[in-house]
A and B are shown apart, each in its own frame.
Chain A
């Protein structure tokens, strides 16, 4: 049963990165769009996402609940040593969720819209940045429970170049996902052209920030290259991600849009596989050489089995309903 639970944890993280990430990305793309195209971009990206966005963010809650019920030691370690970036991420989540709702449901459309929109943009940018930063901190050996001073325990546990690079990479990934996902929401050639240009730009950013991640890992003595390329699965994942990239470019060129979404999702999963597989099942690597493993630090067997069943039953209820929601509202503008 422990593998079922780990599977669900992994899947909900993937789902959050892909669906929630695309959602964050929509805000980022809008922020970096020139004023003239902004309202068009907004319409393309939001009209179809609005009914689904609440559900996209539930995945984070599922992941957190799995962590604190099934892997309490890991959850509490993260929340103790990464307190500050977690709080900043939370602020982002709160600001973004509420600003999005307010901008959508405010009965009067006046200058307040600008306020909501600004908050929405910047929180869309900050939340995935901190998400990436936190993820980086779990494997960069920067968390050191043996440290003595406040900065070493609670600040340099996450503040380093590698973390910042991964944060930027996450931001670019979100923007990329959003623009690729939005391709199918376009209704005419003009809009499609606009979004294809955006997809190319964001793709470029993903590649640049990806290189930054490797460079910063090298500079901070994190054996990222070794982790990824020392095992066949890592090499496979990276090659699949690269091949998908080429396929996406080709599909976009031919304007075949359905496979583009699937490929982009697949690409993200491959990136996550490459990033996590090597030290699996260790989820947190400490600065003092120790690590927390999902297998060793799981809760009592009875809890894991109850949690596993709750997740299985829950997904039987949720998934068909969620799927129906997604297909019901996709392409509603046509």
Chain B
């Protein structure tokens, strides 16, 4: 494996893992705060148990997200020093604000986890809520930095020099809002479905049914917000990509010829050599409509761009298809669930509905990772779109492949341990968290 490829692989893997932990860290606290709020309102001890159970999950995943984030802040320089040398001062603003948000998150989580019965109950509740709020702010700020790489702003690029730097303008770049919105919604969707799926499975096991049903309902509610919000925010994001990075849009759709009334391509196998796509389902004029609300507008094709500026078409296209597919599936599940809530209450306890949610556990995260693949791979060969190529940014140090193997081992073992730990948390629900269970022993718990 050559160093450049190894560096990209290592970065992709680190980000891929970090995204999972950080999305949980962004959304899980809201689920937790919601359950906590229910407890404070209803005084139902089950909600208190649920809040505590979820807060342990938050603690484990937050710590993992924090260390993987620390690692990323170093990896940027370890792998891409040439990029950071120039980009740091321009796109660093959101990072310095994110430092604050992250710090507040860490403080709030300390208050929340160790603050039961020590503080005013609403202050305590607010700390839990604040964990989510600052987590969300962190996420949105980091996305601003990524958006800048897609839509560089806040400097003049003259003869290879980065002049007239304005970090505030760089932060408020054009891609920020659409990307951050879509990412936030997707985080809710992914976490909601993941949590709902786990609790659906536990309901089916017929243990602690009331506890898990309450958990399932809350998580499913959050999943719905995400599932229905995703196409709306996705539409905004797609229009923005079409305007700023037409080549990325063309790659997403494997759209080779520039044409008016372009069709929306579903599936198919893109062939970069022959510049065509085979076996695809094409819906006439829809792509034109999606990017500009006009069925006959012109959509630029890949052939209009020099070939050395093409991103890897197949990867981007497939990732985009995967994202859309799972997105649509989640919307359908969401509609069935909504229908059940309003018209067919008895469906809610049926095994088939629970099973559907169980299978959907990873769907949100698959879509999320696929979406990020579209964003990141679709930007290639650029690290700063149109300004600096990724290949020019890589570290001069040889032997990065060993670093890649090393970090792969770390991440894989970390993930295994986390799955193992969360599984153990779940197994302890009867003893530690569900007050209605016969095995429940309040002395057992160490809050």
Contacts and interface: CB of A to CB of B under 8 A. Distances in A.
Contacts of A193: none
B73 A58 contact: no
Interface string A318-332: 100110010011001
Given A54-B110, A76-B77, A311-B96, A299 B118 contact: no
B439 interface: no
Contacts of B424: 106-108
Interface stretch (B63-71, B195-203, B210-218, B289-297): B63-71
A64 B97 CA distance: 13
Interface residues of B, number: 68
Contacts of A150: 398-399
Nearest to A80: B81
Interface in A192-214: none
B63 A101 contact: yes
Max count, chain A CB within 10 A of own CB: residue among B62, B74, B109: B74
B92 interface: yes
Nearest to B63: A101
B397 A314 contact: no
Interface string A90-113: 110110011011101111100000
Contacts of B59: 101, 104-105
Interface of B: 56, 59-60, 62-64, 66-71, 73-74, 76-78, 81-82, 84-90, 92-93, 95-100, 102-104, 106-111, 113-115, 118-119, 165-168, 395-399, 403, 406, 410, 414, 417, 421, 424-425, 427-428, 432
B78 A83 contact: yes
A66 B96 CA distance: 7
A-B CB proximity, top 6 nearest: A69-B92, A79-B77, A299-B89, A314-B100, A72-B88, A101-B63
Interface in A292-322: 299-300, 302-303, 306-307, 310-311, 313-314, 317-318, 321-322
A235 to B, nearest CB: 36
21 contacts: A54-B109, A58-B102, A61-B69, A65-B99, A69-B96, A70-B89, A72-B89, A75-B84, A76-B81, A76-B84, A79-B395, A86-B78, A90-B71, A101-B60, A102-B60, A106-B421, A107-B427, A107-B432, A303-B92, A306-B168, A311-B96
A113 B356 CA distance: 36
Max count, chain A CB within 10 A of own CB: residue among B82, B96, B165: B96
Nearest to A101: B63
Contacts of A325: 107, 110-111
B395 A314 contact: no
A52 interface: yes
Contact of B100 (A55, A75, A313, A328): A313
Contacts of A32: none
Interface of A: 50-52, 54-55, 57-58, 60-62, 64-66, 68-70, 72-73, 75-76, 78-80, 83, 86-87, 90-91, 93-94, 97-98, 100-102, 104-108, 150, 153-154, 299-300, 302-303, 306-307, 310-311, 313-314, 317-318, 321-322, 325, 328-329, 332
B92 A55 contact: no
A317 B104 contact: yes
Max count, chain A CB within 10 A of own CB: residue among B86, B97, B110: B110
Nearest to A89: B74
Contacts of B118: 328
Contacts, number: 202
Contact of A318 (B81, B104, B119, B398): B104
A329 B410 CA distance: 33
Given A80-B77, A325-B107, 17 more contacts: A52-B110, A65-B98, A65-B99, A72-B86, A73-B85, A75-B84, A80-B81, A80-B396, A86-B74, A87-B403, A87-B406, A94-B68, A150-B398, A303-B90, A306-B93, A313-B100, A329-B110
B274 to A, nearest CB: 42
Contacts of A68: 73, 76-77, 84, 88, 92, 95
B107 A321 contact: yes
B165 A303 contact: yes
A107 B423 CA distance: 9
Nearest to B112: A51
Contacts of A107: 56, 421, 424-425, 427-428, 432
A317 to B, nearest CB: 6
A313 B398 CA distance: 41
B67 A51 contact: no
Given A307-B96, A317-B104, A329-B110, A69 B70 contact: no
Contacts of B428: 107-108
B70 A60 contact: yes
A310 B84 contact: no
Max count, chain B CB within 10 A of own CB: residue among A76, A87, A104, A150: A76
A306 B397 contact: no
Given A79-B77, A108-B424, A317-B104, A302 B165 contact: yes
Given A66-B96, A321-B104, A325-B107, A98 B74 contact: no
A215 to B, nearest CB: 31
Contacts of A318: 100, 103-104, 107
Contact of A328 (B111, B395, B421, B427): B111
B397 A80 contact: yes
A152 B63 CA distance: 37
Contacts of A98: 63-64, 67, 414, 417
Contact of A302 (B68, B107, B167, B398): B167
B73 A97 contact: no
B417 A102 contact: yes
